[in-house]
Amino acid sequence: MLVVMHASATPEQIEAVADKIRQLGYIPHVIPGATRTAIGITGNRGPEGREVLLMMPGVEDVVRVTVGYKLVSRETHPEPSVFPVAGTRIGGGFTIIAGPCSVENERLMMQTAEFLARCGIRLMRAGAFKPRTSPYAFQGLGVEGLRILAKVKAETGIGIVTEVLDTEHADEVEAVADLLQVGTRNMQNFALLRRLSQARKPVLLKRGMAATVEEWLLAAEYIVSGGNRQVILCERGVRTFADHTRNTLDLSIIPVVKHLSHLPVLVDPSHGTGRAEYVPAMARAALAAGADGLLIEVHPDPRNALSDGMQSLDLEAFARLHASLKPLADVLRVELL
């Protein structure tokens, strides 16, 4: 259920309704809106308590939310969410997050951060902890990688997006990251999702490689229902019969997610195609499809990258792509952040 308060409801009336919801044995989630506050209710099995709540001062209506992913749904929160991240924002514009697949060494990270800053990019991606298909592949620098990211952030001011692979290292990653990435293989790692529901940093939740839209939104609901409202989704391609690209980048899910949920959604055309030459076309397509931004792999020397070199743009190719997005954003009347 969702309690819709009057536009003129006072903070005391909102708190009284939240208290009543707790007395009923449910959990209230206060959702401030542009014109009015709503209070989402979870933990209830049906509409019990609806009458009591309807009679309280300041309450305009109590409506049923028909979908399972209640707090991330448009029914609960009609306006699109916008989250501030490291001096920029995600939502209500087109935000680009770029950088290498992995943190490889300090020199490479500094070079990339300085280049991105010159392009006006505010957020850099790079994994310190890497989820690799093979146990023999480069697993990332781990804690040493976090130290490098912290140093590059301190020296350049760039915001850091990096993956949190397990609950064990969540504190250390949270201390450095401005945005906590959950990888495709972890989308349904419920212990990790619960831990991140306690985080004070926003979470970038990648779609599982075989996840339906409902499974994806329910994974987001784990984080939001636990208390962390700042969830950003990221489509990165799914498994299909097609083998002409690494994954099948499912851009058709963008308008669907936008319809069902208020959360921002990014597109990762790097993992979505697996080949640098196909990345620019899909990056522009993501902008046209209504995505809120990109997560894109960029490396100063892709041929010698320790992971995902084939799908990483070199600096020049990234600069060209970036320049090509501007006129497109203008035509679409989207703000390039």
Nearer to Mn ion, 75 or 163 (CB): 163
Nearer to ligand PEP, 81 or 307 (CB): 307
**Should residue 131 be labelled a site residue for ligand PEP when binding is judged by CB under 6 A?**
yes
Applying CB under 6 A, among 20, 153, 195, 206 the residue interacting with ligand PEP is: 206
Q: Which residue has the tokens 């690209």?
A: 245
Q: Report, in Å, the least distance between residue 131 CB and ligand PEP.
A: 6
Q: Which pair of tokens denotes residue 279? A: 């990345």
Q: Report, in Å, the least distance between residue 234 CB and ligand PEP.
A: 8
By a kind-dependent CB cut-off of 5 to 8 A, residue 92 interacts, out of ligand PEP, Mn ion, none, with: none
By a kind-dependent CB cut-off of 5 to 8 A, residue 153 interacts, out of Mn ion, ligand PEP, none, with: none
Q: Report, in Å, the least distance between residue 271 CB and ligand PEP.
A: 5
CA-CA distance, 85 to 148, in Å (whole number)? Answer: 20
User: Pattern of binders to Mn ion over 100-119, x per CB under 5 A?
Assistant: -x------------------
Q: Could you write out the DSSP letters of every residue in 275-337?
A: -GGGHHHHHHHHHHHT-SEEEEEB-SSGGG-SS-GGG-B-HHHHHHHHHHHHHHHHHHT--B-
From residue 23, how far is each of 39, 57, 242 by CA, in Å?
15, 17, 53
Helix 253-260 with 279-289: angle, nearest 10 deg = 30
Applying CB under 6 A, among 40, 49, 58, 127 the residue interacting with ligand PEP is: 127
Applying CB under 6 A, among 2, 101, 180, 238 the residue interacting with ligand PEP is: 101
Binding residues for Mn ion, rule CB under 5 A, total 2
By a kind-dependent CB cut-off of 5 to 8 A, residue 131 interacts, out of Mn ion, ligand PEP, none, with: ligand PEP
Q: Report, in Å, the least distance between residue 191 CB and Mn ion.
A: 23
CA-CA distance, 305 to 35, in Å (whole number)? Answer: 49
Residue 282 near residue 252 (C-beta atoms within 8 A)? no
Nearer to ligand PEP, 230 or 307 (CB): 307
Alpha-carbon torsion angle 142, 163, 132, 150, nearest 10:
-30
Residues of span 239-278 touching ligand PEP by CB under 6 A: 271
Nearer to Mn ion, 101 or 223 (CB): 101
From residue 137, how far is each of 31, 102, 112, 132, 133 by CA, in Å?
44, 12, 23, 6, 8
CA-CA distance, 278 to 119, in Å (whole number)? Answer: 21
Binding site for Mn ion (CB under 5 A): 101, 308
Binding site for ligand PEP (CB under 6 A): 101, 127, 131, 183-184, 206, 236, 271
